[in-house]
Structure 1
Amino acid sequence: MKKFEEKTIATEKIFNGKVIKLQVDSVTLPDGNTSKRELIKHPGAVAIIALTDENNIVFVEQYRKALEKSILEIPAGKLEEGEAPEVTAKRELEEETGYTTEHMEMVTSFYTSPGFADELVYVYFTDQLQRLDDAVAGDEDEFVEVYELPLEEAERLMAEQRIHDAKTAYALLYLKNRRV
């Protein structure tokens, strides 16, 4: 893999936000030429594939400004500094859905857009949900509605592009293969 490595010559910090950092790296290419790479640095995230006792998938609908529309997604959220992914997963499940669990298994992790971002998403699965007695306060700027849908309905919504993100598409594929 080292044969394709690009050596960083210089880094110019462009933006340091609440969620992402943007930088432009000057690099030496494997053939000795130089180039620029625009990079997004992200702390990472989690996503939770959660099944109810009725075998329905738990989704949240929220408006995504970058898309200028609402979509249905599996519960997910950003890692906080120093927080273990499994802790983030349980926290996000509670904040976004009103459910909790004592048992989650790590399914996989993947980079969302490796061409320009280092965001790594950890995907967890649980089918051992318990409804919380009291709602857990989520982020003050996050507005979500919870849905519980069977796999077949979720697949229909994906065909209609109401479900239209990679982590949720992965979750549906995982669940479909799990049933086979």
Structure 2
Amino acid sequence: MKLFEKTLTSETKFEGRIIKVLRDTVELENGKTSAREVVCHNGGVCVAALTEQNEVLLVRQFRYPYKEVLLELPAGKLEKGEDPFEAVKREQMEETGTTGENYISLGNLYPSPGYCGEIIHIWACRVAQKGEMHLDEDEFLEVERIPLDKAVEMVLNNEIPDSKTQVGILKTAALVKAGKL
């Protein structure tokens, strides 16, 4: 098995401010063709920022697709061509008013690989300085400081449904336990 699909045609069905939707025709490894619908997204970043007391900074905000308020790691969209590390530092400052130190990459997350090309770059850090939040004009959120152990418990009890936040909290807790953060 080759486990590969060759793109034969690609048609843009929608292009918006944040996403583009393609309908592609692909050739499968058995020679047959099939259709693929793909959401193109520039990707995003998030950060698990820890205080000296091992509290993780989380943000509570309304998420329109789910029509509910979610508790998440500070995060944001990448602009086309933007360096993910610079973006995560910007988003941390904007959403929490903090800067970090000792950043550690926690890797990348593919949130919906069946139809979306988005990649979320995840970091952990220690909070270095506190300042003022600089939210975007259309951004409304509240910052919460939650002990890391409690945040892990919340993930395991299904109180935090957001995938990037679950991964970031669990990987950060493992690094803290190993003495690496």
TM-score, normalisation: structure 2: 0.90
CA RMSD of superposed structures (Å): 1.7
Residue type at the aligned position of 1:153: K
Q: Against the structure 1 CA distance between its residues 45 and 61, is the aligned structure 2 distance closer, same or farther, given a 3 Å change threshold?
A: same
8 Å Cα contact 1:50/1:129 also seen in 2 = no
Instruction: Give the distance between the partners of 1:101 and 1:114, measured in 2 at CA.
Output: 30
Please, which moves more after superposition, 2-11 or 115-124? 2-11
8 Å Cα contact 2:39/2:116 also seen in 1 = yes
Q: Summarize the alignment of residues 32-71 of structure 1 with structure 2, pairs less than 5 Å apart.
A: 32-71=31-70
| Map of 1:129 onto structure 2 | 128
Larger fraction in strand: 2
| Map of 1:77 onto structure 2 | 76
Instruction: Give the distance between the partners of 1:8 and 1:34, measured in 2 at CA.
Output: 10
Equivalent residue pairs, number: 177
Q: Against the structure 1 CA distance between its residues 71 and 160, is the aligned structure 2 distance closer, same or farther, given a 3 Å change threshold?
A: farther
1:102, distance to aligned residue in structure 2 (A): 4.5
Aligned residue for 2:89, secondary structure, equals: helix
Instruction: Give the distance between the partners of 1:72 and 1:177, measured in 2 at CA.
Output: 20
1:34, distance to aligned residue in structure 2 (A): 0.7
Instruction: Give the distance between the partners of 2:63 and 2:133, measured in 1 at CA.
Output: 22
8 Å Cα contact 1:96/1:138 also seen in 2 = yes
1:129, distance to aligned residue in structure 2 (A): 2.6
Instruction: Give the distance between the partners of 1:124 and 1:35, measured in 2 at CA.
Output: 37
Please, which moves more after superposition, 154-163 or 90-99? 154-163
Aligned residue for 1:54, secondary structure, equals: coil
| Map of 1:145 onto structure 2 | 142
**Structure 1 portions without partners, runs of 5+:** none
Instruction: Give the distance between the partners of 1:103 and 1:17, measured in 2 at CA.
Output: 36
- Identity within the alignment, %: 38
Aligned residue for 1:142, secondary structure, equals: coil
Residue type at the aligned position of 2:118: E
**Structure 2 portions without partners, runs of 5+:** none
